[in-house]
């Protein structure tokens, strides 16, 4: 749910760039955290939502923010 909110807000304010942080946890731990506590790898989720949305909704000539995926 948080990933959808972040994606929606990024479309409302139309930033020039978006910085997303990756947790670098293993996939099994991320899946369990998502299942039990509703948390997980938000950075990849937001990236996926925005890329799919832009492919569907934005024409090719319209600009979109630059996405930066960073890991700590």
For the chain, the average pLDDT equals 81
**Number of structural domains found in the chain:** 1
Indicate the pLDDT class of residue 20, thresholds 50, 70 and 90: confident
Domain that holds residue 61: 2-71
* Global confidence as pTM: 0.70
Indicate the pLDDT class of residue 1, thresholds 50, 70 and 90: low
Give tens-digit pLDDT for 27-47.
Answer: 788 778 777 887 777 788 888
- Burial of 17-55, coded b for 16+ CB within 10 Å and e otherwise, reads ebebeebeeeeeebeeeeeeeeebbbbebbbebbeeebe
């Amino acid at each position: 749910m948080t990933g959808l909110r972040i994606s929606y807000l990024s479309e409302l304010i139309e930033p020039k760039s978006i910085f997303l942080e990756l947790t670098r946890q293993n996939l099994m731990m991320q899946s369990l955290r998502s299942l039990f506590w509703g948390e997980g790898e938000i950075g990849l989720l937001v990236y996926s939502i925005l890329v799919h949305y832009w492919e569907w909704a934005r024409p090719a000539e319209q600009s979109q923010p630059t996405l930066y995926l960073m890991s700590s």
